[in-house]
Structure 1
Amino acid sequence: MPMRSQLAMYALGAVLVGCGGTLPIGDAGESMDSGPAAADSGARDAAGDSGSPGPDAGVGTGSIEGIVRDPGGAPIPDARLTLVTAAGFVDEDRTDSAGAYRFSGLGDGPYVVGASALRREFVEQSVDVDGPEVVDFVLGAETHRGRWSVVGSTEPERPAGTPSGTLMPDGRVIFCHDTQDAVIFDPSSGTTTMASASPSSQGCHMSTVLSDGRLIFVGGQAREEPAAFTEAVRTVKLYDPASNTWEVLPDLNEERWYPSLVRLGDERLLACGGGQRPDARRTANCELFDPATQRWTRTGSLAQPTEYSPSVLLLNGDVLTTWSPPQLYDVSAGTWRATGDFVQTDRGFPDHSDHSLVLLEDGTALAVGYEGSAGTAMTERYDPASGTWSLRDSPDVIRSQAEVVLLPDGRVLAAGGTLEQGSAPTNPFGEVATTDLYDPTTDAWRNLEPMAMPREYHALTLLVPDGRVITTSGTGDQACCPAPEASIEALEPPYLFRGPRPVIDSISGTDLGRGGTLTLGFSQTRAPTSVVLIGTAAVTHWMDGGVPRLVRLTPEVSGSQATITLPSTSVELPAGYYIAFLMVDDIPSEGRVVRVRP
């Protein structure tokens, strides 16, 4: 029978056992807002180091069964049911074609049953088992809005208009606006430290992480002040997080302020465009960096001069760059060619790009952001097969230069940006705190909880291994002054509020070769549905110089181990660092950072 208690089955388990009672929290059948920390607490105690049932399953005569339906009464097949106690995770089941599930062999006592299904809201019910119990569920559309919170600070630094943010192989993030006073933030502890200073200032650069673990900083300007954008440099540096030291590399062939930087499959880097002295006039030429020789060589030029241009390596091996016009780079030939233009072409070129670009797992590319007045869509999608763009759904608040992040469940986050159409609170500079989530499989946006404050395109927003998204900077006037405050916010996406997360208990290796295998030991699930490798990010403005990939692989499951075979080509799986997530439907484990060798 249902009972009026939450059992805080995840986070409060120890408290409940110690107090010998339960805490009143709401009626059975409510959607419990347990949170990600709660979902992992105490789980290993109950489930051990495997995906097998915990100690409360299979030892008694009690049972829980029921039907999971949608609001119209239709059964929902393959829904995930989870069973937890105050000690943690107990068991998991899936509904059959009739929407039915069953847990048996249960000892008497209080349990919480949770039900979830793709794109449907997670619901929990408490039940006190003293024999056969029936617990049915109705799952409506997913509505959870996630949760933002302040988790740290970049003090004593407050980056102005020149910063970058890069996820390092050890899971820490370096926020760097001039390579001389970079802040290193540890998302797991919320603490910051200062990196050593490089020999010279280098703001408005592009960065990425090479496969040897060192960060490369390319081009930029000679001073950090936004007004110094006319002082372009050819500087290239390496930062080694292990030794906290810098190394100056051979220069670029050209000065490049606001350069584009794209990773190729073999780890070469393509740098294009950027402003040059004495007046920041843009250039169209490009050059390639070879990590083996640490030298730059010239290659084909863009159709017209530009600066930071959103770019990705497509699954067909070409590089797509969109600013402007959209064009393709043939890596083998070293030449650029035209491709289809945006449906909405009034985007403000040659001013800054109004959009970011994300490569989706199906190989199409998504441009998010629009500042023109002739169109009404914030999103356009590029099909490499046809070379054409199509309009996609838009959120209620259309903005340009939002922060855009690809998530491990395949959805796309857009946060902040400059208000263009719609209604939302803004700061004095026209920026919003609005946060939205896009689902490519349904072509639909939905609104999430807003950030604590509006942020513009100098914000630094990226996914970290525990599944959260962190952001900092961008809270002042664009390219004017240091940010008025130094907060680091973190978003817990809706997937962190969907019951017990799967847990990676062991990993066969973190240094991977293409075509090889990777085995993950797991718990808190009986059957992982996929393993996702998502490239680590290196962001600035509307650019990401990280590994542009989300690779979803179906594992072979044996007991409490899941094994995947990695793609064999450098186009499918470019060299570099990835976060490996074990997935149950759209629910990710905490990730592990792995390296794919060149």
Structure 2
Amino acid sequence: MHNNQAYTEFGTKNIGPHKWWHHRWAKIIFISFIVLTILAVTLSLVLKFAVFRPKKSEITTTTTTPPLTTTAPTSLASSSTIPTTTTQQSRWAYTGNMNYEREDHTACVLIDEKVLVAGGRNDAGSLNTVELYDPSTGFWTMTGSMNIARAEHAASILTNGKVLVTGGENDIGDILNSTELYDPSTATWTMTSSMNTARKEHTASVLTNGKILVTGGYNGTDYIKSVELYDPLTDTWTYTSDMNYQRAGYIQSVLTNGKVLVAGGLDDTHLNSAELYNPLTQTWTITNNMTHARWTPTASVLTNEKVLVAGGLTDDYVYNAELYDPSTETWTTTGSMNISREDHTASILINGDVLVAGGFSGGYLTASAELYHPSTETWITAGEMNIGRFGHTATVLINGKVLVAGGSNGGILNSTELYESFQIN
């Protein structure tokens, strides 16, 4: 028993340490596994962020900016854009009154940017008074008077800066062939050689060679087809070839190719005929007829070299417009004005648009104005003048504004107003 016991105890004593080493090795293996895991994780992090970390120069950042689809985006501090709508606005405002009421006068922009208004008529008859408008002050001042009172005459700026006035009707109803020159440097008028034919309601154009081409008109009895040239260098008038048609109240435009286009007007009947004058050959040739006959329309040479003819009078007031293309010598209809009108004015603005203002519409005086956009061949309204008028002048100033002066609204006017367009975002 004792030996067995002893064996048992020995056995017990031998078996106990064997189990303990098993537990110890298990602990060692477990701890080692944890340590190795920690070391593996640490090594992985070190390799990722220290050894294989890219250099700054190798880092590329891509920023995507959304495309802009508006024509006028407003930029904010953030990366977003807000589209804005730009609209063109028109404004008419009174400026200084002329010293004299007048209609059927002329207006020219001088080299010093002032506007010279000459002659015309009021209730007392034709005028010889002349005045200057200063855009910088908005005031009118009197300057030297013409030697002869005249209305329904023509005025032309010569290449030397002087102003030539021709013909017209005096204060006792005589049709004139006299002409005179205004010298801005002395503010005086001097008589010059007379035309060969007395005429009013005619047209005068400055040719590319510096000469003045005077055509057509009315002599108190008949409409005229005779044409003459004034040479400023010799102060002489000479006849050139007659037009094919006698006419008054027509349009006349110097084309970019140097030729002169004449169209429409009145010769006992309303005309749609058109013809071209060639200064090189001093001859007239028939070109294609307008699509509509018209008397007292307006004509504007556009920046695309075409000629816009608008409005006028036939058996009724005309609201349609048409374009003459010098390259093909053809007429095509374009967008119609919003209202009919005749005895109105047309002005080519700095941006190439055409402003028409006033006149008669359907037998009634109108103060309305509208703009023609050559790029779209459309018309939009351009506000209203402060007063309806016909027989007025419209002059584009150097600052881009348009000066409308005088005319009549049943009574003859001395009021003047300015048109300007501006954009609102």
* CA distance in 2 between partners of 1:331 and 1:177 (Å): 30
User: How far is the alpha carbon of 1:202 from its aligned partner?
Assistant: 2.4
Which letter maps to 2:392? A
AA aligned to 1:434 is S
2:258 pairs with 1:317: yes
Give a deviation string over 1:268-295, Cα, whole Å, max 9, x none.
110011222xx34222100111111111
| Aligned equivalent of 1:295, options 236, 244, 251 | 236
* Aligned counterpart for 1:452 among listed residues 386, 393, 410: 386
Closer, same or farther: CA 166–254 of 1 in aligned 2, 3 Å:
same
Corresponding residue number in structure 2 for 1:191: 139
Residue 173 of structure 1 and its aligned partner are, at CA, apart by 0.8
**1:272 paired residue number:** 215
Residue 152 (1) aligns with residue 96 (2): yes
2:310 aligned with 1:368: yes
- Cα distance in 2 for residues equivalent to 1:180 and 1:135: 65
* Structure 2 Cα separation of the partners of residues 339 and 211 of structure 1: 29
Q: What's the counterpart of residue 254 of structure 1?
A: 197
Contact 1:237 1:248 in 2 (8 A): yes
Three-state SS of the structure 2 residue aligned to 1:275 is: coil
- The equivalent of 1:170 in structure 2 is 112
Supply the AA of the counterpart residue of 2:168.
Answer: G
Displacement of 1:134:
4.9
Give the counterpart letter for 1:176 in structure 2.
Answer: A
In the other structure, the counterpart of 2:291 is 343
Matched ranges for 1:29-428 at <5 A: 75-76=69-70, 79=71, 132-134=77-79, 136-140=81-85, 143-155=87-99, 157-160=100-103, 162-178=104-120, 180-223=128-171, 228=173, 231-276=174-219, 279-323=220-264, 324=271, 325-345=273-293, 347=294, 353-372=295-314, 377-420=319-362
Q: In the alignment, is the contact (CA less than 8 A) between 2:319 and 2:339 conserved in 1? A: no
Establish whether residue 440 from structure 1 lines up as the match of residue 368 from structure 2.
no
Distance 1:194 1:374 in 2: 40
Q: Which has the higher helix share?
A: 2
Q: Which amino acid aligns with 2:244?
A: A
Residues 280 and 143 (structure 1), Cα distance of their counterparts in 2 relative to 1, 3 Å cut: farther
Q: CA deviation at 1:396?
A: 2.2
SS at match of 1:189: coil
Deviation at 1:145, TM superposition (A): 2.9
Contact residue 300 and residue 336 of structure 1 kept, 8 A: yes
1:473 matched to 2:416:
no
Question: In structure 2, the residue corresponding to 1:461 is in which secondary structure?
Answer: strand
Asked if structure 2 preserves the Cα contact closer than 8 Å seen for 1:239 and 1:246, the reply is yes
Aligned residue for 2:123? Answer: none
* Aligned equivalents of 2:315, 2:297: Cα separation in 1: 15
Percent identity over paired residues? 23
CA distance in 1, matches of 2:134, 2:232: 28
Shift of 1:241: 1.6
1:493 aligned partner: 421
**Given the two structures, how large is their TM-score scaled by the length of structure 2?**
0.76
CA gap of 1:68–1:306, structure 2 versus 1, over 3 A, is farther
Residue 87 of structure 2 contacts residue 424 of structure 2 at CA under 8 Å; is this kept in 1?
no
Query: Residue 145 of structure 1: SS of its match in structure 2?
Result: strand
Q: 2:396 corresponds to which residue?
A: 463
Gapped regions of structure 1 (runs ≥ 5): 1-65, 70-74, 81-98, 103-126, 348-352, 421-428, 500-598
Task: Please say if residues 273 and 308 of structure 1, whose CA atoms lie closer than 8 Å, have aligned partners that are also in contact.
Answer: no
The 1:136–1:330 alpha-carbon spacing in structure 2 relative to 1, beyond 3 Å, is same
After superposition, the C-alpha distances for 1:347-379 in whole angstroms (9 at most, x for unaligned) are 3xxxxx231111111111110113346897521
CA shift, 1:194, in A, is 0.5
Distance change (3 Å), C-alpha of 1:490 and 1:376: closer
Distance 1:334 1:320 in 2: 13
Please tell me whether Structure 1 or Structure 2 has the larger radius of gyration of its CA atoms.
2
User: Per-residue deviation at 1:417?
Assistant: 1.5
Q: Which residues of structure 2 form unaligned runs of 5+?
A: 1-64, 121-126, 265-270
Q: Residue 202 of structure 1 contacts residue 219 of structure 1 at CA under 8 Å; is this kept in 2?
A: yes
Cα deviation digits, residues 418-441 of structure 1 (max 9, x gap): 113xxxxxxxx6111111111011
- Superposed displacement of residue 412, structure 1: 0.6
TM-score, with normalisation over the residues of structure 1? 0.55
Preserved CA contact (<8 Å) 1:344 1:375: no
CA distance in 2, matches of 1:430, 1:255: 32
Equivalent residue letter for 1:252: M
Superposed CA RMSD: 2.3
Residue 242 to residue 134, structure 1, CA distance change in 2 (3 Å): farther
Mapped to 2, the partners of 1:280 and 1:473 lie a distance apart of 28
